[in-house]
Each structure stands twice: as C-alpha cells, then as structure tokens.
Structure 1
Amino acid sequence: MKIFKKTGLAFLLLLLFWILVFDFQRILFSIHNLPKLSDSSFWEWIQVFFHSIRLDISMGAYLSAIPLIFILSYIVFQKKFLFIIFKVVVITELILVSMIHAGEINAYGEWNHKLTSRVFMHLGNPDEVFRTADYSMTFWFVFYLILEVVFGWKIMKWLLKKEKFTVKQSPLWAKIVLFLPTLPILLGVYFVFARGGVQQIPINIDAAYFSKKYIVNDISVNSPYFFGKSFLLFKRSNIGEYLSDYDDEKIEVLLNDFLTYEKEHDIYILENTSPNLVFVILESWTSTISNPFTGKPGATPEFDKLSKEGVLFTNLYSTGSTSEIGNSSIFSGYPALPEISISMQPFKHRKLKSLNQSLKPRGYTAGYLFSGDLKYGNIDSYFTDHGFERIQDESDFPSGLKKGKLNYYDEDLFKMFLEKVNQQEEPFIECAFTGSTHSPYDFPGHNKPKWEGAEKNFMNSVIYADQCLADFIEDAKKQDWHENTLFVIVADHGHASPYVTNPNDSEFYRIPLLLYGPALKDSARGMVIDKVGSQADIAATLMYQMKVDTGNDYPWSKDLLNPNVPEFALHTTTRGFGWVTPKGQFTFHLDYQKYIVNTFDADVLSKERERCNALMQLLYEEYEAL
C-alpha cells in the first residue's frame, strides 16, 4: 500500500508543482504589463486563475510524464542517481518553460500577443535580436528568468522532497510487480489529462478563453502550451519553400487582370443597404448533394425550393476542408494556404477585419450559435477576438435536451437560434452553425434511412438537416424582424457524396451559397450566378451590396456580382492546393510535387499554374507579415 500512496503522491504533486509555477508566471506577467490591464477589473483578473486550470493541467501532464518515470523508478529501486535524474529533468523543463515566459513578458509590450514560433524567425538572425532589443528588455528577460527558476526550485524542494518517496521494508520483487502495471496506468491518465479529457475533440487554447478583453484571455492561456501549439503550426505551415519567388514585375504581368479590373458597378440586389444578416452555416454541405448543381437526384428538396426564390451561386468553393478555415474565410474574406489555419493563430487573425466590425458603425450587433464545441479549431477565440457580442455553443443549451455524440440536433439548434434572434435589436448579424451532418450522423431517425448506397449515412443526415432548415425559415417568416432580413446560407466546407468522393478533386470543395429573404429585390429572386469564386468572396460581395466603404479591409475578397470580376478560386487540400477557373481546375500535392487532378488543356495549364503561384506568393507574403 505504501507503494501506491507514494506513486499517487508523486503523480499529484508533479501536477501541483506545474500549476503553481504557471500561476506565479501569470502574476509576474500581470505586474509587468499592468498598464494594459487598466480597463480590466480585479474580479476579471482573479477569474484567470480558475479558467486557466484545464490548460494548466494539460500542459502539466505533458511536462510530468518523463519525470514521473524517474520518480517511480526511484520509489521502486531507491537508487539516489534516479532521484538526481528526476530533478535534472524537472529543472531542465523549468528552465525551458521560464525562458518561454520571460521572453513573452518582454515581447508582449511590442507584439500584443503571446510568444509564438515567430521567435524562430528572429533567432535565425541573432544579431537582429540584440540590435532590436534594448538593454532594459535584456535585463527584464534575465530578471524574470532567474525569478521564475528560483521560485520553481523552491517549490520543488518543498513539494518534491526525496524523503516523501522513500519506501523501506518492502521486498524488491513486490515493488517491481506493483511498478510494472502502475506506471503505464498513470502515464495513461496523464495522456487523458493532456488531451483535456475523453471527449471527442481534444482541448485547445480556447478552453481558457472567457473574457471579451484579449489580454485577459492571453494571461489565462497557458504560455508553454500556446508556444508548443504555435511551434507545431510553425513546423507545419512553413510552406514558403514550396512557393514561387517571382519578382514584382512578373507578378504584375501574371495578375494584371486580377489587380486592375473595374470594381464599380450598378448591379444591386437588395431593397436597402442595412438588412439584418442571418447566416446559416451548413456543416459539410457539398454542392453535389443538391439537384440544382448536378441535375442528379439529391438530398435537399427544401433547399432546392428556396434556391428558386433567392440568388444562387453555383460555382463557389470552400477555401479548405475544416470548419475553422471556413468560418474565417466567410467572415474575414480571407483565403487559405496549405497547412495554415489562421484562426488557430490569434496573433495573426486579430489583424484581419471581420464583417461585424465593418458593420458595427451602423449599429449592428453580432451573435454566433453552434450546437457543438466551439473550442474546435479555436473558432470561439476567432469570434471573441473579432468582437462578437454573443458567442454560444453546446455548453449554453438548456439541460434536458437530447443530444448526439458530437452536438445537439439541428432542430434544437434552430429553435434556440430563433429565440436568441428574437431578443436582438435590429439591425444585427446572427449566425447559426449546424452540426447534424457531421459524423457520426446520429440525428433523430437516423435508423430509418431514406437514402441507400454510397455515403448513405451522410446523405440521410442531409435529408434531416434540409427539413430542419426549411422549418426554421418558415418559423422565421412569422417574426417581426423577417421583413428586413437577408439569409446567407452557405456551407463551411465540402464532403464526399455519392457523386464525388476524391478529396483531391476540386469538385469535393464546391459548396452552395444562397442569398435568400425579403431583403432581396423582386428582380433578384431566382437569379443564378455561375461565376467562379470562393468563401473568401462573400465578404466583398455583401459589403458592396450594403454600400459599406471597407477600403482595403478585404484585399483578397472579390465581389461576385461585379460583371468585371476575374473568376478564380484558390483552395487547399491536405498537403496541397487547388485552382479553379472557367477554363478548368487542378489540384497539386506539395510533397509529391505533381498534379493529382487536372482538367486544363495542356496549352493553358502552364499559365494557370503560374497565376496560381503568383497569387499564393502574395498571400503568403502578407500572412508572414501579419
């Protein structure tokens, strides 16, 4: 029993050690950056230490795994060198964690975000670091580094004394028998802690978000966890080596029509310039599930009816294959680059504009409701940082509702959404993000299939979601705000269907976009727009119709109702990218360095590839500069 007590004590004390270190670092950060907290209350600051606990435990579990092996080995074998190794490992980790945080305290004043992989760009040129950092920054870095290491050392001596883990009067064979199953079990528990629990979606930095003030959230988010996440993204997203390096003159020649077309036009489809905007973002609704896009049997009869009364865009492509990329593209008019998810990088996405920010001067408020967990892909963080007044997910749904494995059902999402919209003053931007068309497709009645054959589970979930959408629209028609409302119905990304299953095919990424509602002019109803574009073009299209002067806030978004607009869509694939124009489409794999799919004629392919390369180069250069 002593063995179990000692091992359990080691397991818990290691976690407690790291939590105390992280909280001490938060206090130092707050003191050093006190002026930035001037508009935050003491109560809001205190809450940081509660909301941070999940990420702290997660990071503490990562850091405790290796030390646990040595401390349990010491408990079994009682060899002094094992305890020395244990201390060396903990101190090494402590120094690394302290270096990250000491650097963050100094960098925050200039960068206004937590320390990220951006530091590696600077460390690549050490001379730049020393020349741009004044003496005070060097002093404070060393000061905080020493202070944090000394604090950690003192806490370690207090919590992790060797005497606490000394076991006597037990035969070695008995200790070994107990040690062999105990170690993997405790490491397994650490693994569960590290991923934030046994839920389907692992924990993300969003778990520590709770405030409307980004500095408070930055204090709450565990610094080494954030840095580690950023490092992984850095390793994945450093794609510059794969991209072109054209000079300015060549880019101007290749993209002349993209950059110089006439943007003024007189095609307006709205009754007035300040309608309510109700976004319905449909999980995984690829266009190939709908008859208007394919001419084949589909699963969306209700959507098909709605499309005859609205403005339907038939050649729109998602910018990526995940929800967080889709959301940032829709609301910030931002395309995607291979292996980069900008919503996962607050220090970059904060510098983008979003639709609600453009409309805020007109008195618009913004709300977002999702039936699942918004911590996935850091979506909650994206909308929080961009000033949405109300952001709600599964944790805000009423108790007692039946729920699928991943989210609440679409029918309940829309009921709750309607209640929330009814409480808002006009004008507003309100968004509902559906979830029933996401695996495992456990919607009500999923065991009574209507569709058979390939992708039947997905297609049956679409049939259910399609009816939920229609019911919501009918209920919305009974509300006072409906008369001045434009519904923006669009998918977050594509999905395999009975007609397209290849994720390297651009058709996999083609999605519906429907503008619908009383805010449309009668002359616009039934309009079909077949121009090639992407989710990133929704922002410019809407802002032009609403006569909002956005300046250069959405440089990568184009107005799809403009008769002069160049037609193209850039989208990402896994480790690659795709390019679509009226002349054809291709997808290219970065690692294989070859086309996976290509429909361009041989005499056109070379130029289209160069145009795609030039656009990605410009986009990547701006991304790096953010």
Structure 2
Amino acid sequence: MKEIRFHEILALIYRLALAYFFYQVARLLFWFFNKNLIPVEGIGEYLKLAYHGIAFDTTAILYVNSLFILLSLIPILINTKKGYQKFLFYLYFITNGIAYSMNFGDFVYYKFSQARLTTAVMNVAQHENNIGKIFFTSIAEHPFVVIWFVALIALWIFLYKRVKVPIQKPVKLIPYFIFSTVTLCLTALLVVGGIRGDFKHSTRPINLVDANRYVKKPSQGNLVLNSVFSFFRTLNTNNFREVHFVDESFITENIKPYKLYHRDGVDPKPNIVIFILESFGKEYSGAFNKNTDIKDFVSYTPFFDSLATQSLIATNAFANGRQSIHGMSSVLAGIPSLKDAFTGSPYSNQKIQSIVSVSNDMGYDTSFFHGAPNGSMGFLGFGNILGFKHYYGKNEYNNDADFDGIWGIWDEPFFQYFAKTLNTKKSPFMATLFSVSSHHPFKVPEKYRGKFKKGPLEIHEPIGYTDYALKQFFETAKKMPWYENTIFVLVADHTNQIGYPEYEKAMNRFAIPILFYSPNPKFNLKGEVNEPSQQMDIYPTLADLMGYNKKIRSWGRSLVSDKKEDYIIVNSSGVEQFIIGNYIYLFDGKDFTGIYDIKDLGYEDNLLGKVNTPEIKNGELKSKAWYQDYMDRVINRKLN
C-alpha cells in the first residue's frame, strides 16, 4: 500500500543510522588523536564507553536532524519526487556536515582545553578578530584531520545514495494522511525522549555531567560525549543555582569567606608586578619538579629556575580554571571557574573585591598589559569590571613590526615595553601583564630560531622564548629605581601540552608554578610552600604583604601568614574538584561522584562508598559548603 509510506520510513531510519555510524567513527578518531590524555584499558573498555556514548549521540543527532525528520515525514504528497528528495539530501548534509565538523575540531582543540567543545569557546571567540587566521593556521598544521573529515563525508554521501526512495503517488488520501499523522506523532514522542535521554518525567535531560556515570576515570567522560552534544547542551544554559546544604554559621567557621591579616610597618608600600604567563605549566620548569622523580626530566626555563632559588615558590600549586580568562579571574579576584565559568556568566558584571580594588583603595596606580589587540580574550572588559585604571594593549604599543601575525606583540619586546612604561609610573603601582607568545601555533621570532630547546612538544620552544623574555625584562627592570621595593609574582594561567605521564593525571592537568620574588629582604620571600595551593591564594597573599589591614573577601589564603589556615583547592573538569586535607572530592553540584586519596592524582581508586571516616564526612560538608557560598555570592552579587 502506497499510503503506508514503507520505503520513506525505511529510508529515514537508514539515513539516521548512518549518522550513528559516523559519530562512532568520529569517537574512535577522537580517542586515537588523544589517547595519551584518555587512558582506556583494552578493547572491552572502549566498546563499553562507546556503547554508553550512544545516548549522547542520540541527543546530538536528533538535535541536528529534527527539521530533516519532520520534512521527511510531513504528508505533502510530493515527498517521493526527485526534486524533493534532492532538497532533503542537501538539508541533511549541510546540517550534519557542519555539526560533524565540531567533532573533528576537538581532535586538536581537546589537547589544549582537555574538555569537549562547549559554548564557552564562543565567549573567547567573540573577543578575537583573528579567528580566521587561527583557523587556517590550525588546518595547515593538522591536514590529516581535514583529510579524514573530507574522506568520511564523501563515504557518508556514497552510502546515503545507496538507498533511494521510489517515486510513489498515494491513491487514497484519507488513509495516507491518517497514517502520516500517527507516524509523525509517534516520531515526535521518540525524538523528545531521545533528546532528553530518557522518557521518565522525573528525570532531568542528560547533560555533560552524566557522561561521568559510566567511566572509571573522569577524562573518559569526554570519550563518552561528542562535541555536538556538549555544544548544544551548553547553549543558553546557566548552571548557576542557589543551593542550601549547610547553615551560614558552618560557612563562616569552616569556609571563612572573609580574611583579615595584620601586618604593621609596611612603609613604603611595595610595588606589585604580576606576570600571568600563557600556558606556562609546572611540567616545563625544573625548579618545580625537583621532587617529582621524573626520569630524565628536562627543564625549558633556565631563568625561571634560577629566579626560583631566590624566591618563595609554591611547588604543589594548581590552576583554578582551564582558559586564560579563568586564570585572570582566579589570580586577580580569587574567583575560580567551575562547570560554568563566572567570567562568561550573566553575573560577571558586578562589583568585585580583588587585588585591583585593594590596590586602588590603598592609592596605587593600577594597570593591565596584554600585547594582543585591545579587548582580546575578554581581558579589557573584565579588567574594567575589576577597576584597572589603565589598559595597555597592542594599540598602545603601536608598532606592528613586533606583531607575531596571530595573537599579539612578541613577548620580548612587549616585556621591555612593560618595564619602560612602569618606569614612568609613580610608586606605589600595581601592574599585571598577561603574556601571549607561549601559545598555539607555538612559534618564536625568526631571529631566535634554533636558540631554545625544541623538545618533544611544540610548546617547549616558545616556553624557552618566554623564559628568555622574562630574563631580559628583569635585566632592564633591576636598573630602574622602583625595582628594589617591588614584589613580583609569576604564575601560569593554565596548563597546555603534556609530555610526561605524571602530568597526564587528572589533577596534575591543573599543575602550575607560583613564584613570589622581591629583591627587598624585608618581605622574606624565600623557600617553598609544599602544601597544596592555588591561583586564588595570590590575591590574599599580596593583600597581606601590602599591609592591607582590612577584611577581604577571599576563598584563598595568604601563603605568608603566620597563622595556620586550612586549604580548599578548587577547580573543575566538568565536575567540581576539591582538595581538602588528605582527599580529593569530585562533586557535580548535587552528589559526589568520586573521593580519592590526595596522592591518587590520576583517580585510580575511587573511595566513594568504600571509606567513610570522620575526615571524609567533614570534607564532604566543606565541599558542599564552599559550593553553596560560591553560588550565593555570585548569584546574589556579594563578591565585593
């Protein structure tokens, strides 16, 4: 019976099945390109992860193909005609082709973000005017990704055309329309259930966190996911929600969101110079790896290592986010990035107490330097929120002869510009510089080709170049009158490429160096902090050293305070991660998904449900309390 539309329904099922097949191919390729970051123990475990990925593929495929499904089934009598089928062909491959390319972008992007593509990338992209150049540079550097994409799309088209819908004209219109309507209704029900990931009314739609239900190690969640799902699921989302786990008295006593440090006799006030170094992970520095027992370790930062011997260094420090803007908010304002980044949220435009506001309150001149085009990375906008009085970017540098062609002014000349500009300032001043050169596509100036160690990773050479730029900066600065009474802070914004297995461990993917240096002996910035620390500790440490004897809002702690303060280290890999005492806690905003010994940085042995000591119970309460306080302060604009 032509009215049943048997061939059309089978063709639609076949075409959707092709999408499932090619999504699994993309998953396999994604793992192949990133297998050093996503450990899988054998074929059996991979197949299990791929199987659980079908639910997430279903959501993505139905998101992308909803219109195609509707137009394939809608009863308009011309569905089987050649022209209409050709229209469906183009609709199918335009929508699926664009979506499918997202997975291939993650073959490369994941190495740097270590998270599937989300709309957070749009928050970064909207501040850039060199996206096209970055895109084509990436294509040139990774041609096999493009070749795979083109080859698979070609195969997909070939297989699609193998099944054709014969031209049929319904004779009996009433049965035709009744059957079509019933089919559409049933299909709509299946599509809604497929997009939600479940038909149960009581179950919320699946999201990125749900991928972690099926994995042994958190990084495997990215293999269960696909990039289309993660992108669509974060469109127009806002995971900031007020929660209530504990009483406010517990937060006041255990989280201590307000700190007060007393330091007398800080006169004259020290200048503060902060270097936030692009991708300058702990892995690249010898001074921060003396105790890691990595065989045949190689350092790419000779100057940084030498400076560390004269400084106070945090040897067990972690970033509070994965992107540059997260590093800025964590270092300067003590605000980390959770599953959703504060800086990309509707709540970021509020009054925020920070080292910038503290400096302004103390009469400092405050400046932010970034060699990229003004506004890049969102730094200018967020800098304005924090209250920087001056912003110096590529526009102010005003010499494109030193432009690297993609990101901004090369570090060496821009660091010199930084030193000379500071020399025009009246003390005391607080200045922050965000470097640009140790960044993809990992180039160094032509005149320095061959000067720095290349190493096995692309980033090693530009790390050496930025280290050299730091050396040249200090050579210039130490001749200037403000130098002797200055506190310098050097810290990475986040990590990047990984060369040693030690840094493939989940928590160590946040491992960064933090260094405090001053030529003024009165600040006594010498030695090592071996306890876990974080970017959020920099703001209270500096407020303490500056003699700011007022309360500050801070989730970090001063690393130079005489009084003992407990640490709560916070960051997120899709679920929130807390280091408290002797354990690491993974929390999804509602439930704990993992508890690990502090030495188990690779999350090998999940203690959740196995060990339930008083310390763990207290750690769970503190994790929830911290999360509650964070949400309350962000949502209710209490960050000042």
Normalising to structure 1: TM-score of the pair?
0.57
**AA at the equivalent of 2:281:** T
Q: Residues 255, 286 of structure 1: CA spacing in aligned structure 2 closer, same or farther, 3 A cutoff?
A: farther
1:98-147 Cα shifts (integer Å, max 9, x gaps) = xxxxxxxxxxxxxxxxxxxxxxxxxxxxxxxxxxxxxxxxxxxxxxxxxx
1:396-429 Cα shifts (integer Å, max 9, x gaps) = 3233423222222110111111221111111111
Q: Residues 259, 480 of structure 1: CA spacing in aligned structure 2 closer, same or farther, 3 A cutoff?
A: closer
Which residue pairs with 1:294 in the alignment? 289
Aligned residues: 403
Q: Residues 459, 619 of structure 1: CA spacing in aligned structure 2 closer, same or farther, 3 A cutoff?
A: same
Q: Residues 351, 481 of structure 1: CA spacing in aligned structure 2 closer, same or farther, 3 A cutoff?
A: same
**AA at the equivalent of 1:579:** F
- Rounded to whole Å, the distance in 1 between the matches of 2:584 and 2:345 is 30
1:302-354 Cα shifts (integer Å, max 9, x gaps) = 11110111111222221101111111122222233221233x35754432122
**AA at the equivalent of 2:298:** P
**AA at the equivalent of 1:597:** Y
Which residue pairs with 1:448 in the alignment? 450
**AA at the equivalent of 2:330:** S
SS in 2 for 1:309: coil
Which residue pairs with 2:532 in the alignment? 532
Q: Does 1:464 align with 2:465?
A: yes
Q: Does 1:281 align with 2:280?
A: no
Which residue pairs with 2:627 in the alignment? 616
1:5-20 correspondence to structure 2 within 5 Å: none
Normalising to structure 2: TM-score of the pair?
0.56
SS in 2 for 1:430: strand
Identity %: 22
Contact 1:543–1:550 at 8 Å: present in 2 too? no
Q: Residues 592, 457 of structure 1: CA spacing in aligned structure 2 closer, same or farther, 3 A cutoff?
A: farther
> How far 1:292 sits from its partner (Å)?
2.3
1:575-598 Cα shifts (integer Å, max 9, x gaps) = 222222451435567899844836
- Rounded to whole Å, the distance in 2 between the matches of 1:378 and 1:461 is 23
1:419-438 correspondence to structure 2 within 5 Å: 419-438=420-439
Comparing 439-448 with 255-264, greater Cα deviation is found at 255-264
> How far 1:499 sits from its partner (Å)?
2.1
- Rounded to whole Å, the distance in 2 between the matches of 1:619 and 1:598 is 29
Contact 1:255–1:611 at 8 Å: present in 2 too? no
Q: Does 1:402 align with 2:399?
A: no
Which residue pairs with 1:248 in the alignment? 247
SS in 1 for 2:317: strand
1:141-540 correspondence to structure 2 within 5 Å: 199-200=130-131, 235-240=236-241, 245-248=244-247, 252=250, 256-259=253-256, 272=267, 274-295=269-290, 296-342=297-343, 344-345=344-345, 348-404=348-404, 405-444=406-445, 448=450, 451=453, 454=456, 456-499=457-500, 505-521=506-522, 524-540=524-540
1:242-292 Cα shifts (integer Å, max 9, x gaps) = x9641317x82x8844439996577x9x97461111111111111121122
Contact 2:585–2:592 at 8 Å: present in 1 too? no
**AA at the equivalent of 2:279:** S
Which residue pairs with 1:597 in the alignment? 603
Contact 1:586–1:598 at 8 Å: present in 2 too? no
Q: Residues 407, 348 of structure 1: CA spacing in aligned structure 2 closer, same or farther, 3 A cutoff?
A: closer
- Rounded to whole Å, the distance in 1 between the matches of 2:482 and 2:375 is 31
Unaligned runs of 5+ in 1: 1-179, 204-230
The answer to which structure has the higher helix fraction is: 1
> How far 1:380 sits from its partner (Å)?
0.6
**AA at the equivalent of 1:291:** G
SS in 2 for 1:396: helix
SS in 1 for 2:272: strand
1:411-458 Cα shifts (integer Å, max 9, x gaps) = 01111112211111111111211111111111125753854654x211
> How far 1:365 sits from its partner (Å)?
0.8
- Rounded to whole Å, the distance in 2 between the matches of 1:426 and 1:264 is 23
Contact 2:238–2:345 at 8 Å: present in 1 too? no
> How far 1:501 sits from its partner (Å)?
7.9
- Rounded to whole Å, the distance in 1 between the matches of 2:259 and 2:429 is 31
Contact 1:586–1:597 at 8 Å: present in 2 too? no
Which residue pairs with 2:548 in the alignment? 548
Q: Residues 611, 341 of structure 1: CA spacing in aligned structure 2 closer, same or farther, 3 A cutoff?
A: same
Q: Residues 273, 617 of structure 1: CA spacing in aligned structure 2 closer, same or farther, 3 A cutoff?
A: farther
1:40-189 correspondence to structure 2 within 5 Å: none
Q: Residues 391, 311 of structure 1: CA spacing in aligned structure 2 closer, same or farther, 3 A cutoff?
A: same
SS in 2 for 1:319: coil
- Rounded to whole Å, the distance in 1 between the matches of 2:325 and 2:318 is 15
Q: Residues 582, 600 of structure 1: CA spacing in aligned structure 2 closer, same or farther, 3 A cutoff?
A: farther
Unaligned runs of 5+ in 2: 1-89, 99-121, 135-231, 291-296, 595-601
> How far 1:370 sits from its partner (Å)?
0.7
**AA at the equivalent of 1:424:** K
Contact 1:290–1:298 at 8 Å: present in 2 too? yes
> How far 1:555 sits from its partner (Å)?
3.5
- Rounded to whole Å, the distance in 1 between the matches of 2:274 and 2:383 is 14
> How far 1:510 sits from its partner (Å)?
1.9
Contact 2:281–2:496 at 8 Å: present in 1 too? yes
- Rounded to whole Å, the distance in 1 between the matches of 2:255 and 2:385 is 31
Q: Residues 435, 559 of structure 1: CA spacing in aligned structure 2 closer, same or farther, 3 A cutoff?
A: same
Q: Residues 288, 484 of structure 1: CA spacing in aligned structure 2 closer, same or farther, 3 A cutoff?
A: same
1:145-187 Cα shifts (integer Å, max 9, x gaps) = xxxxxxxxxxxxxxxxxxxxxxxxxxxxxxxxxxx9xxx9xxx
SS in 1 for 2:459: helix
Which residue pairs with 2:575 in the alignment? 576
> How far 1:394 sits from its partner (Å)?
2.1
- Rounded to whole Å, the distance in 2 between the matches of 1:286 and 1:385 is 27
Contact 2:540–2:558 at 8 Å: present in 1 too? yes
Q: Residues 238, 260 of structure 1: CA spacing in aligned structure 2 closer, same or farther, 3 A cutoff?
A: closer
- Rounded to whole Å, the distance in 1 between the matches of 2:338 and 2:324 is 15
**AA at the equivalent of 1:306:** L
> How far 1:619 sits from its partner (Å)?
0.7
- Rounded to whole Å, the distance in 2 between the matches of 1:262 and 1:390 is 28
- Rounded to whole Å, the distance in 2 between the matches of 1:198 and 1:582 is 44
**AA at the equivalent of 1:403:** F
Q: Residues 346, 430 of structure 1: CA spacing in aligned structure 2 closer, same or farther, 3 A cutoff?
A: farther
- Rounded to whole Å, the distance in 2 between the matches of 1:297 and 1:547 is 39
- Rounded to whole Å, the distance in 1 between the matches of 2:259 and 2:331 is 23
Contact 1:319–1:534 at 8 Å: present in 2 too? yes
- Rounded to whole Å, the distance in 1 between the matches of 2:322 and 2:527 is 28
- Rounded to whole Å, the distance in 1 between the matches of 2:352 and 2:132 is 26
Q: Residues 234, 618 of structure 1: CA spacing in aligned structure 2 closer, same or farther, 3 A cutoff?
A: farther
- Rounded to whole Å, the distance in 1 between the matches of 2:329 and 2:519 is 27
Q: Residues 375, 248 of structure 1: CA spacing in aligned structure 2 closer, same or farther, 3 A cutoff?
A: same
Contact 2:276–2:493 at 8 Å: present in 1 too? yes
> How far 1:502 sits from its partner (Å)?
6.6
- Rounded to whole Å, the distance in 2 between the matches of 1:580 and 1:617 is 16
